[in-house]
Amino acid sequence: MTTRPNIVVIMADQLAPQFTSTYGHPIVQTPHLDALAARGMRFDAAYTNSPLCAPARFSFMAGQLATRIGAYDNAAEFPASIPTFAHYLRQVGYRTCLTGKMHFVGPDQLHGFEDRLTTDVYPSDHAWTPNWDESNERIDKWYHNMDSVKEAGTAATTFQLDYDEEVAFTAKRRIFDYAKHHDTPFAMVVSFIHPHDPYVARPEFWDRYDGAEIDLPVSPMAEDPHSQRLFTAIEAADVEVTDEQVARARRAYYANTTYVDAKIGEIAQTLDEAELLDDTIIVFTADHGDMLGERGLWYKMSTLDHSMRVPMVMAGPGIVHGTSPEPCSLIDLLPTMLDWSAPGAWPTLGADLDGRSLAAAAGGAAPDPDATALGEYCGEGSAHPIFMIRRGRWKYVQCDIDPPMLFDMAADPGELDNLAADPAHAETEAAFATEVAARWDSAVIRADVLASQRMRRAVHAGMSVGRRVDWDYQPRRDASEEYVRNHMDWTVAAATTRFPPVDGATARS
């Protein structure tokens, strides 16, 4: 048994907490996440730091905002020189492992993890670079459109199902390997791509919603300029979808959310069978949410809460049962993990952190009234940076070319009433505007985004000519050392791969 907790972070892709039973949805079935929350802490105002896959994940890994590390979009490189929680946890004696999606872009595909058990599901080059120089032009074929809504339904398999099955298998296999060396704590990230579109589900999960009345979006179309740009960018302005197609897309998303929930159950069961559950903190979260037709929008990229909020549930040693209302975000997980793994004795940090530890909140401390979640967006559907501050009851969104937005999230959780121009809230709006200007230099950030995009487009153009060289991760595997081979004693192999172990057997490293 270790004296410090193991840490397992389970991450979904594009999962809005509003579409889970854990956070109150009346239809969606997430019993395993419910069970995790029933013995742990549920954070009710957890946010992504950028409503886009790669920037959100890089911020999660680094504990820093995307604009500080140049993680602007899904083709931005994550430099190898940026310290991550995996680097820090290794310094304090943890084994570190990644299985699944992390959308690393660039030649470093480990970023501190000792082991990576799968390749990534998406490319690791600069092909998906946006072009703010021509922001009004339709983006290339890789970008979101309404096909995912129109073609939603069931399938026996998809590339996403293949991927997540491999992720779950490798995670469970590695957990048993760790159980044989239980004197050393480990930190593992298990990252699934579901329920990310395409909205296509296995029949057994689709069938769980037979007879259910799938709720349709009822909120009006968002009228802010960024929402209108996204509406055009995903072709929703030109492609009409029927209520039946919308219902099928939402049903498939619900089914895939239940699929991810089943994977949570598998990981928890494996930890239990490996006699590690009582010594392990499990964190469940997502990189961002999904609008799923709400306010007329689909997918992510929006600063509205269905896109920006993420589930965050923690359970394990030192964590009490409860709910926390204080705003928090993915960048808070790095300092939280350091508090769990090295309380009072953090390693020397290689960079200032933008996040704060949630260890006290998870342990039942009173909510911090000054707790803040920060968000940024520098991707497709915009040509200027967008910033968000969420604190207390207020949420503020600012972009140089758009009118500001101010929402009272306690009175208006649907974000239907923009109070930014209301004289009764002028003082609040002015204070947030001043804070945004102090935190971010929008003009400098925009200039850097444009320069970064131009460089990356040139690099990709050059790498597309001549012999192809890929950065995609190739999992290391030596089949000659697996299962039973002639240089092994098969009786030893049978004993040392078994758990619980056979008395007297010596486990292989």
Residue 53 is a catalytic residue: yes
Rounded to 10°, the helix 53-62/333-341 angle is: 30
- Give the pLDDT score at 138: 66
> pLDDT tens for residues 378-398?
999 899 999 999 999 999 999
Contact 263, 212 (CB under 8 A): no
Cα three-residue angle 168-199-189, rounded to 5 degrees:
25
Q: Is 500 exposed, middle or buried (0-12, 13-18, 19+ CB in 10 A)?
A: exposed
User: What integer is the mean pLDDT of 98-122?
Assistant: 97
- Give the pLDDT score at 509: 42
pLDDT band at 51 (very low <50, low <70, confident <90, very high): very high
Catalytic residue among 53, 97, 378, 399: 53
- Give the pLDDT score at 142: 58
Residue 399 is a catalytic residue: no
For strands 153-154 and 200-201, give the pairing.
parallel
Share of the chain above pLDDT 70, in %: 97
User: What integer is the mean pLDDT of 458-478?
Assistant: 94
- Give the pLDDT score at 139: 67
Contact 269, 36 (CB under 8 A): no
Instruction: Say how many C-beta atoms besides its own lie within 10 A of residue 115's C-beta.
Output: 17
Mean pLDDT rounded to a whole number for the chain: 94
pLDDT band at 1 (very low <50, low <70, confident <90, very high): very low
Q: What are 388's strand-pairing partners?
A: 375, 397
Least-confidence region, from 55-64, 233-242, 290-299: 233-242
Least-confidence region, from 61-70, 138-147, 446-455: 138-147
Tokens of 170: 């490798």
User: What integer is the mean pLDDT of 426-431?
Assistant: 98
- Give the pLDDT score at 73: 96
User: What integer is the mean pLDDT of 47-55?
Assistant: 98
User: What integer is the mean pLDDT of 363-372?
Assistant: 94
Residue with tokens 């896109």: 307
Q: CA–CA separation, 163 vs 300, rounded Å? A: 21
Contact 126, 75 (CB under 8 A): yes
Q: CA–CA separation, 396 vs 388, rounded Å? A: 6
- Give the pLDDT score at 140: 65
> pLDDT tens for residues 278-315?
999 999 999 999 999 999 999 999 999 999 999 999 99
Alpha carbon 423 to its chain's center: 37
Q: Is 478 exposed, middle or buried (0-12, 13-18, 19+ CB in 10 A)?
A: exposed
- Give the pLDDT score at 182: 77
Q: Where are the domains of the chain?
A: 19-324+341-363, 478-509
Share of the chain above pLDDT 90, in %: 88
Catalytic residue among 32, 103, 144, 194: 103
Q: Strands (DSSP E) along 361-468, which ranges?
A: 372-377, 386-391, 394-399, 402-408
User: What integer is the mean pLDDT of 185-208?
Assistant: 97
SS (H, E, C) 122-178: CCCCCCCCCCHHHCCCCCCCCCCCCHHHHCCEECCCCHHHHHHHHHHHHHHHHHHHH
For strands 6-13 and 41-43, give the pairing.
unpaired
> pLDDT tens for residues 486-499?
898 878 878 878 88
pLDDT band at 504 (very low <50, low <70, confident <90, very high): low
Q: Is 396 exposed, middle or buried (0-12, 13-18, 19+ CB in 10 A)?
A: buried
Q: Which CATH class is domain 19-324+341-363?
A: alpha beta
Q: Rounded to a whole number, what is the distance in angstroms from the first to the last CA of the chain? A: 18
pLDDT band at 102 (very low <50, low <70, confident <90, very high): very high
User: What integer is the mean pLDDT of 256-266?
Assistant: 98
pLDDT band at 444 (very low <50, low <70, confident <90, very high): very high
> pLDDT tens for residues 153-168?
999 999 999 999 999 9
> pLDDT tens for residues 126-139?
999 999 998 877 66
Closest by Cα among 476, 493, 495 to 97: 476
Given a cut of 50, whether residue 470 has pLDDT beyond it is: yes
Tokens of 451: 């320069």
Distances 364 to 23, 182, 317, 325 between C-alpha atoms, Å: 19, 28, 13, 12
- Give the pLDDT score at 87: 98
Contact 118, 163 (CB under 8 A): yes
Contact 265, 32 (CB under 8 A): yes
Contact 130, 380 (CB under 8 A): yes
